Copies of this chain bind each other. A is one copy, B any other.
Amino acid sequence: MKRSQFSSKRRKPAFQRRTASGAPPGMLCSDPGAHPTSMRVMAYGPGDLIEQPIGRADELRAIMGKYPVLWLDVAGLRDASTIGRIGEIFKLHSLALEDVVNVHQRPKVDEYGNCQFIVARMAPLHDGEATEQMSIFLGSNFVVTFQEALGDCLEPVRNRIRADKGQIRHAGCDHLAYAILDAIVDAYFPLIEGYGEKLDDIEDQAVERPQRRLLLDIYTIRRKILMLRRAMWPLREAVGHLQRQESPNVTQETRIFLRDLSDHTVQIIDMLETYRDLSLGLMDVYISSVGNRMNEIMKLLTIITTVFIPLTFLAGLYGMNYHTDVSAWNMPELTWKYGYLMCLCLMLFIALGQLWLFWKKGWFTNTWSAAKDGDRAETDAAEKTP
């Protein structure tokens, strides 16, 4: 079930319209590659609760109106006719249903006469996947949710309904819609905290060992944060809109909970912006580290080359074949007694002189012990700061 986020072949395209371009607006064209449709209904009041799978949409008519809250949960969007049938039963607008099967909507709240149509995007269950669209219709006595596939983050809500925990069984449809949105938003936190930890790791490595894969790691996190921002910014607006607008479907009590939810979305956006800023900073650190690395390589090359080149020249000089016997001016050093020793001493002197010069310019410090120095200096600074 796990997918690598780097294999572009298997990657789900980030945006795709499933309705054929040019179809009349409001026509339902389901994606043949979508998951098969299954339905589950929970209907409850303060006293009683039924929970059952539904085979055909028309079975709903038997339950409708008998419980204060009816939650129809549709997973998988392949069966357009069933979705259309649900639309007829609950009187959902055709444009809204078109948005349900076009699973790349931005989060939003639209008013349609009898009901609110809320689009949210669920955090991916597995890192590296795209966000999943959750469409919620909030009516006076029903909540209909559509999700792309089975498996979601709403199990805690269902458990609370089953166990009659908290006030959920005693509240209306608006509270259920709030609880669903709250569960969706809550599911973002561990994901984003994971990015934070990954950024910490990258930070530790960026200076010590600026390897090539760090570049990709930073870029990947940036891309994922971008994806989550795209899901979260409009959700914040949508929740704020739901909280403020005058609608009989949303009670005053629920508005306080929605304000709290709105705070949570702002908190997530805050985290995302922070991590985005940090990832940009890390990119700078990485690029600089690579530059530093290059600097050290160049230094080493320069030290060794410039130390040996004059020596090699000297050696070459005394390798010339001028005939010492023809003229006393022709390389008399070659015939001196200590000529070779003098030559060696000269070479040693040149080499040491150069090394001393480099040492004075502080090249060695940086090259070999920069990291440890840096850490030590930092620790010192930290201890001196009050």
Contact = CB atoms under 8 A, between A and B. Distances in A.
A21 B190 contact: yes
A381 B382 CA distance: 32
Report copies per complex.
5
Interface in A186-239: 186-187, 189-190, 192-194, 196-197, 200-201, 203-204, 207, 209, 211-213, 215-217, 219, 222-223, 226, 230
A381 to B, nearest CB: 8
- Classify the interface of chain A: helix, strand, loop or mixed: helix
A356 interface: no
A194 B14 CA distance: 11
Interface in A369-386: 370-371, 373-375, 377-379, 381-383, 385-386
Contact of A382 (B5, B183, B212): B5
Contacts of A331: 321, 340
Contacts of A156: 21-23
A245 interface: no
A197 B106 contact: no
A98 to B, nearest CB: 8
Interface residues of A, number: 153
A71 to B, nearest CB: 16
Identify the 9 closest CB pairs spanning chains A and B, nearest first.
Answer: A22-B156, A24-B166, A213-B374, A315-B316, A318-B320, A327-B337, A319-B319, A301-B302, A304-B306
Given A213-B378, A230-B274, 20 more contacts: A4-B379, A5-B378, A8-B203, A14-B196, A14-B271, A15-B189, A25-B166, A93-B256, A211-B373, A216-B285, A217-B381, A219-B284, A222-B277, A222-B281, A315-B316, A319-B320, A319-B321, A321-B331, A321-B334, A323-B324
